[in-house]
Amino acid sequence: MSGPHAPGRSCQDRTVSTTGPLDPGPLDPGRHGSDRGRRLGVAAALVDGVVVPGDVVVDGTTIGAVGVAPPGRRDLAVPGFVDVQINGFDGVDFTRADPAAITGALVTLARHGVTACVPTLPTAEPAAYEPALRCLATVMDQPPLGAKVLGVHLEGPFLNPARRGAHPEEWLRDPDPALLARWAQLAPLAVLTLAPELDGAPALIAEALRLGIVVSLGHSEATAALAHAAFDAGASMVTHLWNAQPAVGSRQPGLAGAALARPDVRVGIIADLVHVAADTLLLSLAAAGPRAFVVSDALDVAGTAPGTRTRADGRPQHHDGIAVHLGDGTLAGSALPLDAALRNLVALGLDLPRAVDLVTAAPARALGRADVGRLRPGSPADVVVLDDSSTVASVLVDGRQIT
């Protein structure tokens, strides 16, 4: 099968039988850990970008050992996926759902390989933020039944109206550090997307950094000079590179060009092949290297049947199982989960270790988290087992079987 959603070659063809730089060499039991606990029955595991032949042992909530003989006959264990930008899933809008509904969506999300995520609140009416943050804080206080919540991503309301995309203009507002501090008391905030050219943006960046929030630039008309100033002030990420920002020109690199040129800025990219064309995606990955990571930017319709529905702001939107459009054609987000994005990356020619890194360790690095996105002895047992078509065969979160 060919095309952007076609399965790649088998794991055996791609990676499990390896030579050269991916060959981990003879099994060293001291390096790989002890053989106790529950075996996953896999042929190999992806450990820090290296395919290690042999089975994986789960010891309670952690990885007990990798490279254990004898190996299983098939399948590859990889780290659980990490989604830094996701607005909802399986019919559940994270801005408007109660804790029970959010928990149910996180279980379904985990079946697609996402073992950790940052629920994203887009621009909403002012009264929506506090209840949404309280609900997400309640979910975070509970043991995870599905994908773990690493904090909240505020994608708005401090955005440029000229690059608002699907964000309702009437709900956008100028940067307000005091408001951000109040919201941070309601739930742990992990990421803040803002437009650095807005009046008051430098003070907002400073407050976000004081609160331990990763600052991401997006929905912006910023010139390269303004972007560099914001990065120099501590912003370290770009939200959905290429979308809701000016195109790069030979003499006007803009936000995207500035971000790709800097070694200290990480860039999130949507890999549904609609928001960003395949060639642009490959160019971005080549330019950014390990600083790139993939996000779903999934809306609540992700995981549901294609169709048309009315948004909370009253506007109609349609999704085809890949991307979501408003009635006027504006891209509103994606309907493609990260496991499908992973298969897109493989179909475009990326080797499996690089493709997996883009949805696991790379987003974890962007968040400054060493406790997710990795599979090695002693790490949390957040594991995705992929079959020969890079399809999710089973998932564990903290050693607990999800599917």
Contact 236, 230 (CB under 8 A): no
Domain ranges of the chain: 11-79+373-401, 81-367
Contact 89, 338 (CB under 8 A): no
Average pLDDT, the chain: 91
Q: Is 371 left (phi over 0), alpha (psi -120 to 50) or beta?
A: alpha
Contact 199, 175 (CB under 8 A): yes
pLDDT at 372 over 80: yes
259-304 tens-digit pLDDT: 999 999 999 999 999 999 999 999 999 999 999 999 999 999 999 9
Please give the residue that has the higher pLDDT: either 106 or 1. 106
215-261 tens-digit pLDDT: 999 999 999 999 999 999 999 999 999 999 999 999 999 999 999 99
User: Residues 19-42: what's their mean pLDDT?
Assistant: 53
Q: Identify the pLDDT of residue 32.
A: 46
Whole-model pTM: value is 0.91
Cα–Cα distance, 346 to 350 (Å, whole number): 5
Cα–Cα distance, 308 to 319 (Å, whole number): 7
Cα–Cα distance, 321 to 64 (Å, whole number): 38
Q: Which CATH number fits domain 81-367: 3.40.605.10, 3.30.565.10, 3.40.50.300, 3.20.20.140?
A: 3.20.20.140
Cα–Cα distance, 296 to 86 (Å, whole number): 6
Q: Identify the pLDDT of residue 314.
A: 87
First vs last Cα of the chain: how many Å apart?
A: 26
Could you tell me the two tokens for 30?
A: 């001291």
77-134 tens-digit pLDDT: 999 999 999 999 999 999 999 999 999 999 999 999 999 999 999 999 999 999 999 9
129-176 tens-digit pLDDT: 999 999 999 999 999 999 999 999 999 999 999 999 999 999 999 999
> With 0-12 CB in 10 A as exposed, 13-18 as middle and 19+ as buried, what is 126?
exposed
pLDDT at 26 over 60: no
Q: Identify the pLDDT of residue 36.
A: 66
Percent of the chain with pLDDT over 70: 91
Cα–Cα distance, 229 to 225 (Å, whole number): 6
**For residue 28, how far is the Cα from the chain centroid?**
33
Among all residues, which ones are annotated catalytic? 297
- β-partners of residue 384 are 78, 395
Domain 11-79+373-401 has CATH 2.30.40.10: yes
User: Residues 12-33: what's their mean pLDDT?
Assistant: 33
384-402 tens-digit pLDDT: 999 999 999 999 999 999 9
